[in-house]
Structure formats: C-alpha cells, structure tokens
C-alpha cells in the first residue's frame, strides 16, 4: 500500500527483486519508494514485504530537520502499517531488524533498497492493526 498522500501519484505494486529508491514525490507531503527504473512511479508495498538496503538506513530527525541524520546501523527491514486509528497520520513504516520502527516519510532521500520477499497470504506473527504508534507520524 502507499501512504495516503501518495494516492494521487502513479503507482504500481512491488515485485520481488525490485530496485527501489527512497524519494520525495513532486507535489506530495510524504516520501515513499520508487523503482530506480521508473522514478516518477510510486512502488507500493504490502505489510510484511521485506527489504534489504545497500547501506545502513538513515533517518531524518523528526523535530529539528537541520540536525544530522540518524544512522540506524540496520540494513534489513519489513514494511508495516502503523497509526491505523489516525486517518491523517502517516501509516507507512519500516520495522528494522532490531525492532526500531521508522516512518517511510522520515527516510533520507536517495537510499537504495531491494525487495527481498513479498508477504504470502494472511499476515502471521504480527497483527497489523496492533502495531505501535510511531512518534512524529502526523502529516
């Protein structure tokens, strides 16, 4: 799925092996993923999709954007939906291998990732509606 502010952007579902880039889309309030080959098309991920980043995931600070980006020291993530009970909040997030939750809209632009695996059938292990709220999630 794509976050609510990407609803008016051309999009397509993710495929295994897709090479993605984190980017700010034109005329949008949020960031998302695009294919390296189709930079103006949002690639929508399903909850449970697994990604591998080329380098450590870097995140912009929530409150003070002029501060340094934060290096999570993680390279593997699983796509999640958070803040489901807040319709005007960002919902797209990454659960990193160490359990950190990071909103996709907070990712530093230009980071590259590869889709490793798509979810199969109903989600197991995690009930998406019971994922924790993520701070700094309002649009």
Q: pLDDT of the chain along its 139 residues, tens only?
A: 566 556 678 889 999 999 999 999 888 878 899 999 999 999 999 999 999 999 999 998 776 666 678 899 999 999 999 988 887 778 889 999 999 999 998 999 999 999 999 998 655 444 444 444 444 433 3
The domain ranges of the chain are 4-120
**What pLDDT score does 117 carry?**
96
**What pLDDT score does 65 carry?**
61
The candidate with the shortest Cα–Cα distance to 32, out of 117, 90, 82, is 90
**What pLDDT score does 66 carry?**
63
Going 122 to 87 to 75 to 127, the CA torsion angle's sign is negative
**What pLDDT score does 122 carry?**
58
User: Element (H or E) spanning 110, and its range?
Assistant: none
Distance (Å, rounded) from C-alpha 102 to C-alpha 17? Answer: 22
Q: Would you say 72 and 100 are in contact if contact means Cβ atoms under 8 Å apart?
A: yes
By CB atoms closer than 10 A (0-12, 13-18, 19+), residue 15 is: exposed
Which residues are bridge partners to 35 per DSSP?
20
User: Element (H or E) spanning 58, and its range?
Assistant: strand 58-59
Q: Would you say 13 and 44 are in contact if contact means Cβ atoms under 8 Å apart?
A: yes
Distance (Å, rounded) from C-alpha 30 to C-alpha 27? Answer: 9
Whether the model pTM is above 0.85? no
**What pLDDT score does 21 carry?**
97
Residues in the chain: 139
């Amino acid at each position: 799925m794509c976050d609510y502010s990407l609803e008016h952007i051309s999009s397509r579902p993710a495929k295994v092996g897709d090479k993605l880039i984190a980017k700010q889309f034109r005329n949008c309030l949020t960031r998302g993923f695009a294919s390296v080959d189709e930079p103006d098309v949002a690639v929508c991920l399903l909850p449970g999709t697994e990604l591998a980043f080329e380098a450590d995931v870097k995140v912009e600070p929530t409150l003070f954007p002029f501060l340094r980006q934060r290096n999570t020291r993680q390279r593997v993530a699983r796509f999640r939906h958070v803040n489901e009970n807040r319709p005007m909040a960002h919902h797209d997030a990454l659960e990193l291998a160490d359990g950190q939750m990071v909103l996709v809209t907070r990712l530093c632009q230009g980071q590259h990732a590869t889709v490793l695996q798509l979810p199969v059938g109903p989600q197991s292990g995690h009930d998406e509606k019971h994922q924790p709220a993520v701070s700094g999630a309002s649009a």
